[in-house]
């Protein structure tokens, strides 16, 4: 069975969708003839083998409105002659290329998120997008909330949609190291929807507690200035991009994890699963997305209204001041990661969809 996955990027890009695609591809590659097609950030095509996965990074022609245009993609899809093509959305150029290539293979879609920011372009794109979704044999989503809150998916027949949780393989965390000062952790790109400004404001009046924000992005300078203006510049750390071993140490050492995102562009928050596996309670926002489905209020952490500095401040103070509650929530979080977000189950259920029905 020749299977082609079309995504935006691939490891070592470490965002949520790329983490999902890498985990899925590594699980599927022993089961089928798998190729992953993604964009290169340069104007050249590179073909490589990564952890047993055949990856083709196609030359990027240009980038516009968060979309990489790969003029070589339709031709490559024709050449590969897939039995199954699995597209990861949002990715308007992947949809266009599949149609330009003559709609090869049986179409499967992993629907990670609606298009949120490009509202005016979405109005023009919507009819085309709906037609692609209707052409798919199955559309895979990570949580029921993805269907509930999507203006596109909520109108599709139930039999076309399949909920398969994202999963992570077991992570081997290092032992926790004693800290001079306790800290809370957040991880993500320093971009508009992550809500790091809200988090910095929320910790400003919590003395003796540091904040570590791991990640890079265009808002770093602005966030640093905010921390300085609030008089907590020395308490808010921006280590930037760190190695995997350093990141796991941060998870092991933090008191708890915070995902303060303020827009439903945060559709799942796979970093929550990493925190869960580390046995950490999570504070997250009650977004109209999969985020509060993953982090269950009062069971694995605390869920607060998005963008609410006061509510987030109260949640931070509550967990910081209650080690027993942190332990209870963290243990439940670890159990939820093991029982409900298994990489093996994600791979097995996805591959089962590919098999011809009797």
The domain that holds 15 is classified in CATH as 3.40.50.2000
pLDDT confidence of residue 347? 98
For residues 319 and 341, give the distance between their C-alpha atoms in angstroms, rounded to a whole number. Answer: 24
For residues 23 and 178, give the distance between their C-alpha atoms in angstroms, rounded to a whole number. Answer: 32
pLDDT confidence of residue 120? 63
278 and 243 inside one domain = yes
Six-digit token string for 306: 């998005």
How does strand 62-64 pair with strand 67-69? antiparallel
Per DSSP, the three-state class of 193 is helix
Question: Is residue 160 situated within a structural domain?
Answer: yes
129 and 240 inside one domain = no
Question: Is residue 172 situated within a structural domain?
Answer: no
For residues 14 and 22, give the distance between their C-alpha atoms in angstroms, rounded to a whole number. Answer: 9
Which position has the token pair 């919590």?
206
- Are 270 and 166 contacting, i.e. CB atoms less than 8 angstroms apart? yes
CB atoms within 10 A of CB 324: 7
List of residues 6+ apart from 168 with CB closer than 8 A: 19, 23, 270, 273, 274, 277, 337, 341, 343
333 and 346 inside one domain = no
- Are 237 and 261 contacting, i.e. CB atoms less than 8 angstroms apart? no
283 and 220 inside one domain = yes
For residues 347 and 339, give the distance between their C-alpha atoms in angstroms, rounded to a whole number. Answer: 15
123 and 205 inside one domain = no
Residues 117-170 have pLDDT tens digits of 666 677 888 899 999 999 999 999 999 999 999 999 999 999 999 999 999 999
CA 111 to each of CA 89, 129, 138, 142, 152: distance values in angstroms, whole numbers, following the listed order: 5, 12, 10, 8, 10
CA 240 to each of CA 216, 256, 319, 339: distance values in angstroms, whole numbers, following the listed order: 5, 19, 26, 32
207 and 281 inside one domain = yes
78 and 144 inside one domain = yes
317 and 347 inside one domain = no
Query: Using the 8-state DSSP alphabet, how is residue 192 labeled?
Result: G
113 and 255 inside one domain = no
For residues 232 and 263, give the distance between their C-alpha atoms in angstroms, rounded to a whole number. Answer: 25
216 and 263 inside one domain = yes
CA torsion, ordered 276, 280, 286, 287, to nearest 10 deg: -50
pLDDT confidence of residue 349? 98
Residue 282's beta-bridge partner residues?
257, 301
pLDDT confidence of residue 87? 98
Q: How many domains is the chain partitioned into structurally?
A: 2
| pTM beyond 0.85, yes or no | yes
List of residues 6+ apart from 153 with CB closer than 8 A: 111, 133, 139, 141, 146, 147, 161
Question: Is residue 249 situated within a structural domain?
Answer: yes
pLDDT confidence of residue 356? 87
pLDDT confidence of residue 261? 97
- Are 4 and 35 contacting, i.e. CB atoms less than 8 angstroms apart? yes
189 and 157 inside one domain = no
**What range does the domain containing 35 cover?**
2-167+342-354
- Cβ-count burial 143-174 (b if 16+ within 10 Å, e if not): bebbbebbebbeebeeeebbebbbbbeeeebe
CA torsion, ordered 21, 22, 28, 32, to nearest 10 deg: 90
pLDDT confidence of residue 118? 63
Residue numbers in the chain where pLDDT is lower than 70: 117-120, 358
CA 341 to each of CA 10, 214, 328: distance values in angstroms, whole numbers, following the listed order: 21, 23, 19
């Amino acid at each position: 069975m020749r299977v082609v996955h079309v995504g935006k990027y691939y490891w070592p890009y470490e965002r949520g969708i790329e983490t999902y695609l890498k985990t899925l591809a590594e699980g599927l590659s022993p089961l089928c003839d798998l190729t992953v097609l993604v964009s290169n950030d340069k104007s050249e095509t590179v073909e490589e083998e990564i952890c047993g996965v055949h990856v083709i990074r196609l030359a990027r022609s240009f980038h516009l409105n968060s979309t990489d245009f790969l003029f070589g993609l339709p031709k490559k899809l024709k050449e590969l002659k897939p039995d199954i093509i699995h597209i990861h959305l949002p990715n308007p150029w992947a949809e266009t290329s599949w149609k330009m290539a003559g709609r090869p293979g049986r179409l499967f879609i992993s629907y990670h998120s609606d298009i949120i920011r490009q509202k005016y372009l979405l109005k023009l794109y919507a009819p085309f997008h709906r037609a692609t979704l209707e052409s798919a044999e199955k559309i895979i989503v990570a949580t029921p909330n993805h269907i509930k809150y999507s203006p596109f998916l909520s109108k599709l027949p139930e039999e076309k949609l399949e909920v398969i949780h994202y999963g992570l393989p077991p992570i081997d965390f290092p032992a926790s190291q004693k800290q001079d000062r306790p800290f809370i952790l957040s991880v993500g790109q320093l971009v508009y929807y992550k809500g790091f400004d809200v988090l910095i404001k929320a910790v400003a009046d919590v003395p003796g507690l540091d904040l570590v924000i791991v990640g890079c992005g265009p808002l770093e300078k602005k966030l640093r200035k905010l921390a300085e203006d609030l008089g907590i510049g020395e308490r808010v750390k921006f280590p930037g991009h760190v190695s995997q071993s350093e990141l796991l140490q941060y998870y092991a050492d933090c008191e708890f994890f915070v995902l303060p995102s303020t827009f439903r562009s945060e559709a799942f928050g796979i970093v929550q699963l990493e925190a869960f596996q580390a046995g950490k309670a999570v504070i997250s926002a009650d977004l109209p997305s999969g985020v509060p489905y993953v982090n269950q209020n009062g069971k694995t952490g605390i869920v607060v209204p998005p963008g609410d500095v006061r509510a987030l401040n109260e949640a931070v103070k509550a967990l910081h001041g209650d080690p027993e509650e942190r332990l209870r929530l963290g243990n439940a979080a670890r159990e939820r990661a093991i029982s409900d977000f298994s990489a093996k189950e994600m791979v097995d259920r996805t591959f089962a969809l590919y098999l011809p029905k009797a």
